[in-house]
Structure 1
Amino acid sequence: MNGGGGGGGGFSNFYETWLNQLHHLVRQLTAAPRPPTTPDHHCDLDELVGKVMSHYAEYYRVKSVAAERDPLAMFATPWASALERSLHWIADWRPTTVFHLVYSESSILFESHIIDILRGLRTGDLGDLSSSQFRRVSELQCDTVREENAIMEEFSEWQDSASELVNARADVNEKIGRLVTTLRKADDLRLRTVRSVVELLTPQQAVEFLIAAAELQFGVRSWGVDHDRHRGSQ
């Protein structure tokens, strides 16, 4: 995928294209055989997961370039609905949301397969996470919370110094540069968190997790856009 996302308007166009391509990738994930029954199926799932992760990496690459050109637009997020913006943490989704999603999907699938599980049958899906996987998810969650707190503290310090911008007591470029650095740290944590979770899952579980994550994103966006449209027509 190409594109530099020059400023808010350019990134808005990029985001619409990127989101449409994510829809296409999710359709491929949904159509993939689960559980995989042959070595080829395992390879297919691995390849699809790799494509989706590359797609997310491209999003953050272009966003980083756009932030360098117009950092304030990245925080205003004109491409997002009001509902999406209300859920943002430093201009995008909160990294620890990933863990809530894993636990939620695991619980739902576990309950739906509980009879099979009690009989000793393995489903291989997100409802069948091993004790080792749960431990690693918990450890990763703790690490992510610590990083979130550190980034949020840095962001809060930047906000507390905003009066210096108004009173012209500071170098504006230096202040905005610090804001870009904080955004990049937050985006890096978002991408690393998804990658880390995917790496500790089996290919089948990774596919299910990525589908759930994308469907949550699609759902929130759809509700938000519908709300904005309804509000605008009044």
Structure 2
Amino acid sequence: MAFHLLYSMSRMQLEDQFADFILGLSSGDLGDLSPSQLNQLDKVQMRTIKEERNITEKIAKHQEMVPDSTMVGLSHAVTELMRSDGGVDEEQVELALMAKEEGLEEILHNADDLCLRTLKSILDIVTSMQAVHFLIAAAELHLRFHD
């Protein structure tokens, strides 16, 4: 989403100042991204897409592990206990879910880390003024979604 926002804002700001661009005037905003910056951003985007795919594969593998024999056995046991008005061994359920939870937690940490590294990479490539324009646009978009 960060890249779509960045490129959309760049295009919009460039279109708004096209006459100035033709005259060689600079506004310092995202419409002034240089070819070098665009190349660097493209490389970061490609790396990010690759890492996103890896995270997606990990999520898929993790989801495939959910209905393993332990979970199916617990599900069956809970169903039988509910039919006979018996209690559920919550400790056994907790232990079975703990490994699943830890795996998912690790994947979520990896995804959060990727988001932060991507944002930092973008901010390292753009100028300070361009970073301000990008962060303002991101904040505005965030607020509009919540409205």
For residues 89-168 of structure 1, the aligned pairs below 5 Å read 97-164=1-68, 166-168=71-73
Higher relative contact order (CA 8 A, sep 6+): 2
Tell me the equivalent position of 1:201: 126
Q: TM-score, normalised by structure 2?
A: 0.81
Matched, 1:179 2:104: yes
Partner deviation per Cα, 1:194-222 (whole Å, 9 max, x = no partner): 11101111110000000111111111111
CA change 1:168–1:194 in 2 (3 A) is farther
Give TM-score scaled by structure 1 length. 0.52
Secondary structure of 2:67's aligned partner: helix
Query: 1 or 2, which has the higher helix percentage?
Result: 2
Ranges in structure 2 where 5+ consecutive residues have no aligned partner: 75-94
Q: Secondary structure at the match of 1:122?
A: coil
Q: Which runs of 4+ in 1 moved over 2 A?
A: 168-172
Once the two structures are superposed, residues 36-77 of structure 1 have per-residue CA deviations (whole angstroms, 9 ceiling, x without a partner) of xxxxxxxxxxxxxxxxxxxxxxxxxxxxxxxxxxxxxxxxxx
Residue 168 of structure 1: how far off its partner (Å): 4.4
CA 1:196 to 1:179, structure 2 compared with 1: closer, same or farther past 3 Å?
same
What is the distance in 2 between the residues matched to 1:146 and 1:152?
A: 10
- What's the % identity of the aligned pairs? 39
Q: How does 1:62-77 map to 2 (within 5 A)?
A: none
